[in-house]
Structure 1
Amino acid sequence: MEQTTQRVAVVTGGSGGIGGAVARRLAADGMAVVVHYAGSAGRAEEVVASITRAGGTAVALPGDVADEAPMTALFDETERRFGGIDVVVNTAGIMLLAPVAEMDLDAFDRMHRVNVRGAFVVAQLAARRLRAGGALVNFSTSVIRLQQPTYAAYAATKGAVEAMTLILARELRGRDITVNAVAPGPTATPLFLDGKSEELIGHIAAAAPLERLGTPEDIAESVAFLAGPGGRWINGQVLYANGGIA
């Protein structure tokens, strides 16, 4: 086992736009970072390489977030390499949109498997493994407040994540572990921008009082606050990181 005095973070979905930004931001704070991925090994390795080039410590590890066996193996490997786990950030998720009347139920089940069961599996492991002084940061969405058509099934998954987040914060009484969620608004990731016209993107950006889209780095700053020393008195909360859009 490689001994280290560094804090150690696991970022699920670390190969994604927001997940990668979170991984790089936590590494900039001096944490050793495990960049989790499911199907995007190349992008995860790019995140690791960018962290390493900046003088940080990172490794990419795979796993299906909804399957407890590979995720247990990921947590085991993290502890073997770095000696423990201090921060878990659960950005992994998928978004499939359709009106309620038209939603394909197989798609509904697939999204709930990743977003709800996956979040629960990771939260369960975090609850068992996080060291004192640790933090779990889950991901919700500002759509819960915005109530936009076609987002019902997706928002339902994130409503479930908020519920488990708030309850777990209270279940971990006495452990000195915080549990919170970040709820981003529209954020300029490739996934968000894909298929949208410039006109639509401009309309969405104008909805916020700050008149722009969020960036992955904006969201990563919120996570870094909750995971760092400045966020130790924030517990059992949902932080809406959306520029005032809702």
Structure 2
Amino acid sequence: MPNAIITGASRGLGLALARALAADGWRLTLDARTAADLERAARELGRLTEVVALPGDVADAAHRRALVAAAGKDINLLVNNASVLGPSPQPALAEYPLDVLERVYRVNVLAPLGLIQTALPRLRLGAAIVNVTSDAAVEDYPGWGGYGSSKAALDQLTATLAAEHPGLRFYAVDPGDMRTRMHQEAFPDQDISDRPLPEAIVPGLLELLRQPHPSGRYRVPHPAEVGA
């Protein structure tokens, strides 16, 4: 039975991916900050496969160690999906509270690296590590300097880890805009109902995982781009 850890798995892309993997018979170790939401997801997914759900904060080293211990040996997939946006609406960098920015970096950069460091001894040869990134990592959108720079740092960490561990697959994956709570928080006054649901993005992500694509940065095509 293939074995995966997914952070931020109680909603959005994390839950959509967990549902797809559960249907394929993967064993899942899931994390989220809100215990009630995570327990609800675990009950649903537990009808299909073996699920361990641990609520907590990925910025907490003890929680990361618990996730890896719960996953056991021979981990095939680690998905660093948990993330924080920062203030909403996004402030200009000149006005960005540094204590808040420090929290964004702890969750979006240091926590994924810390989880990878902890999981490395248990990752199978050829295992995939997916770090969910954003187009804000490569585009200079006004007001997105905090979140975007954290994702740019995550991109660089992903590329460096790939060079240091050629026996593993390291992917920085940009899923594009989606109809999620975080995306709505980023644009509190906009109607985002035209964005695709995370479930529509999952097939492109699964294609990346199922085929032996080389390590690198990938943008998942949206349904409209592939004629769906």
TM-score (norm 1): 0.81
1:223 aligns with 2:218: no
How much does 1:61 deviate?
1.4
Q: Secondary structure at the match of 1:155?
A: helix
Mapped to 2, the partners of 1:201 and 1:69 lie a distance apart of: 39
Mapped to 1, the partners of 2:204 and 2:121 lie a distance apart of: 24
Q: Please name the residue that 1:109 is paired with.
A: 102
Q: Please name the residue that 1:181 is paired with.
A: 172
Question: 8 Å contact 1:19–1:91 — kept in the other structure?
Answer: yes
Mapped to 1, the partners of 2:154 and 2:165 lie a distance apart of: 16
Letter of the 2:99 partner, please give it.
Answer: D
Q: Please name the residue that 2:79 is paired with.
A: 89
1:42 aligns with 2:36: yes
Which of 47, 51, 66 aligns to 2:45? It is 51
Q: Secondary structure at the match of 1:124?
A: helix
Q: Please name the residue that 1:8 is paired with.
A: 3
Q: Which segment is superposed worse, 158-167 or 119-128?
A: 119-128
1:136 aligns with 2:136: no
Mapped to 2, the partners of 1:107 and 1:34 lie a distance apart of: 29
Letter of the 1:189 partner, please give it.
Answer: T
1:137-187 CA-partner distances (Å, limit 9, x unpaired):
1111012344221101111000011001111112112x3x21101112221
Mapped to 2, the partners of 1:64 and 1:115 lie a distance apart of: 12
1:198-245 CA-partner distances (Å, limit 9, x unpaired):
xx336xx7xxxxxx41321133333322332x2x1x222111136389
Unaligned stretches of 5+ in structure 1?
1-5, 206-211
Q: Evaluate the alpha carbon distance shift between residue 147 and residue 115 of structure 1 in structure 2; reply closer, same or farther with a 3 A threshold.
A: same
Q: Please name the residue that 1:64 is paired with.
A: 57
Q: Please name the residue that 1:237 is paired with.
A: 216
Q: Work out the number of aligned pairs and report it.
A: 220
Letter of the 1:221 partner, please give it.
Answer: P
Question: 8 Å contact 1:14–1:20 — kept in the other structure?
Answer: yes
Q: Secondary structure at the match of 1:185?
A: coil
Mapped to 1, the partners of 2:214 and 2:56 lie a distance apart of: 28
Letter of the 2:202 partner, please give it.
Answer: A
Letter of the 1:238 partner, please give it.
Answer: R
Letter of the 1:179 partner, please give it.
Answer: F
Question: 8 Å contact 2:137–2:150 — kept in the other structure?
Answer: no
Unaligned stretches of 5+ in structure 2?
none
Question: 8 Å contact 2:29–2:70 — kept in the other structure?
Answer: no
Q: Please name the residue that 1:155 is paired with.
A: 148
TM-score (norm 2): 0.87
Report the aligned-residue RMSD: 2.1
How much does 1:48 deviate?
1.4
Q: Secondary structure at the match of 1:149?
A: coil
Mapped to 2, the partners of 1:23 and 1:190 lie a distance apart of: 17
1:118-149 CA-partner distances (Å, limit 9, x unpaired):
11111212333211231111111012344221
Letter of the 2:60 partner, please give it.
Answer: D
Mapped to 2, the partners of 1:127 and 1:170 lie a distance apart of: 14
